[in-house]
Amino acid sequence: MNRISKKGLVGESLTLFVVTMVVIALLLVFFFMIKGFGKSGSNVEEMESFSLEDSAKFSLGAYINTPVNMEYGGENITIKMSELMRLAKINGDYKKILESNTRAIFKEIYGGDYHVSISFNNSNMLSVGRSLALPQKTEKISPEKFILKTISIPDIEIDLYIFEK
Amino acid sequence: MKGLNKKGQVLSSALTLGWKLFLIAGITLFVALTVGSIFTAKQDIRPAEVSILANKVMECITNNGIIEPNFNLNGCFIEDNELYVSANLTSIESNFSRFIFSGKQDLGVFCKIPDMIKEGTVYCIDQKYYVLINNQKIERGMLELTVGVKKYESNI
């Protein structure tokens, strides 16, 4: 057997030591990554948001089909909420009817924890419900958690925000 | 340059080999424990179950937001004995109201108990929906849906 110098052995041992340290460091990094990944978001909270989103989806579907009794050209007529939105775009009186009906409907279901925003060709036409103002960056208040569901019909987009209690 | 004798060389090689084997064993153990903990971790899928079920029930009993006053939950995916679904339909415009339920009635009682007590046994959600009731004329209404699912081996 050839003789190995002591220097060579020290070099090999040092290399092995460095490799061991690197492996341990990598294992620790992986461990904390996996631990952190597992903790991100509770599935109960996520699912409660999904069920609130479902509520918003079905409520919006019923909302745009809601019949509204109103006077038009001296006659009492019944039109759908989606049609009232088009009338409200051209006449402020209909906007008031739209606003009061929208408020009455969503207040009944979600109390004060909602905000409805109706846009016509991407310009806001009506906002009803709780203010959407988010805290300033300097304020130490975390923004409120809410879900947003949007429904679109030709030219009109309706956003429903429901705030989580 | 000074060298090692044969005994020293053998001992040195054995130590190096042992250390390498120890490293490999450590890495293998880490991978096994990490992967094992992921695959054997208990996941409570009941929140997902009730959320999906509530959505399916709504799709089953409503059509474009309109619900018939004599609606029922038969055929709405509630055949399972470990589930409970109740629907309370109330008109906002008249005094019409209707309450129906399907599934295991005991679970409905558990759904009324505060979380602290029912924790680990039954998971329930209560959700309100705005609906239109086709009651001769279309009326505005509210549907309160309660969906509960029991804890059993396959969902935790």
Residues B82 and B126 in one domain: yes
Could B131 and A58 be called an inter-chain contact, meaning their C-beta atoms sit closer than 8 Å? yes
Residues B70 and B33 in one domain: no
Is A76 part of a structural domain of the chain? yes
Note the pLDDT tens digit of each residue in A124-137. 999 999 887 654 44
Residue among B51, B62, B125 minimizing CB distance to A58: B62
Is A136 part of a structural domain of the chain? yes
Confidence at residue A137, expressed as pLDDT on a 0 to 100 scale = 47
pLDDT at B123 over 90: no
Residues B17 and B70 in one domain: no
pLDDT at A144 over 80: no
Could B30 and A61 be called an inter-chain contact, meaning their C-beta atoms sit closer than 8 Å? no
Note the pLDDT tens digit of each residue in B38-70. 777 777 788 888 888 899 999 999 998 999 999
Is A96 part of a structural domain of the chain? yes
Domain extent, residue A71, equals 43-163
pLDDT at B146 over 50: yes
Number of domains in chain A: 1
If one compares A141 and A126, the residue with the highest pLDDT of the two is: A126
Residue among B1, B125, B127 minimizing CB distance to A5: B1
Q: A50 and B54 in contact (C-beta within 8 Å)?
A: no
Domain extent, residue B88, equals 46-155
Q: Which of residues 11-30 of A touch B (CB under 8 A)?
A: 12-13, 16, 19-20, 23, 27, 30
Residues B25 and B96 in one domain: no
Per-residue confidence at A1, pLDDT binned at 50, 70, 90?
A: very low
Confidence at residue A118, expressed as pLDDT on a 0 to 100 scale = 93
HSE of B80, CA atoms in CB hemisphere, 13 A: 15
Note the pLDDT tens digit of each residue in A45-89. 666 677 788 889 999 999 999 999 888 888 889 999 999 999 998
Q: What is the average pLDDT score of chain B? A: 84
CA distance B104 to B102: 7
Residues of A in contact with B66 (CB under 8 A): 62, 65
Number of domains in chain B: 2
Residues B148 and B81 in one domain: yes
Name every residue whose Cβ is closer than 8 Å to that of residue A70 and which is 6 or more positions away in sequence: A76, A77, A78, A79, A84, A94, A97
pLDDT at A7 over 60: yes
Counts for chain B of helices (H) and strands (E), in that order: 4, 6
Is A139 part of a structural domain of the chain? yes
pTM of the predicted model over 0.90: no
Residues B106 and B79 in one domain: yes
Ramachandran quadrant class, B64 (left: phi over 0; alpha: psi -120 to 50; beta: rest): left
pLDDT at B154 over 90: no
Helix (H) or strand (E) holding B35: helix B6-40
Per-residue confidence at B1, pLDDT binned at 50, 70, 90?
A: very low
Closest CA to B66 of B146, B143, B148: B143
Interface residue B20 vs chain A (CB under 8 A): yes
Which token pair is B38?
């992921």
Residues of A in contact with B55 (CB under 8 A): 51, 54
ipTM score of complex:
0.73
Note the pLDDT tens digit of each residue in B62-118. 998 999 999 988 878 767 778 889 999 999 989 899 999 888 888 888 888 876 555
CATH of the domain at B61: 3.30.1140
Residues B27 and B104 in one domain: no
Interface residue A163 vs chain B (CB under 8 A): no
If one compares A31 and A84, the residue with the highest pLDDT of the two is: A84
pLDDT at A39 over 70: no
Residues B28 and B62 in one domain: no
Residues B24 and B1 in one domain: yes
Note the pLDDT tens digit of each residue in A80-117. 999 999 999 888 889 999 999 999 999 999 988 899 99
* Across B22-28, average pLDDT: 89
Residues B73 and B107 in one domain: yes
Q: How close does chain B come to A50, measured CA to CA in Å?
A: 7
Residues B72 and B127 in one domain: yes
Confidence at residue B152, expressed as pLDDT on a 0 to 100 scale = 65
Residues B76 and B147 in one domain: yes
> What does B87-105 look like in DSSP terms, one character per residue?
EEEEESSSS-EEEEEEE-H
CA distance A122 to A160: 15
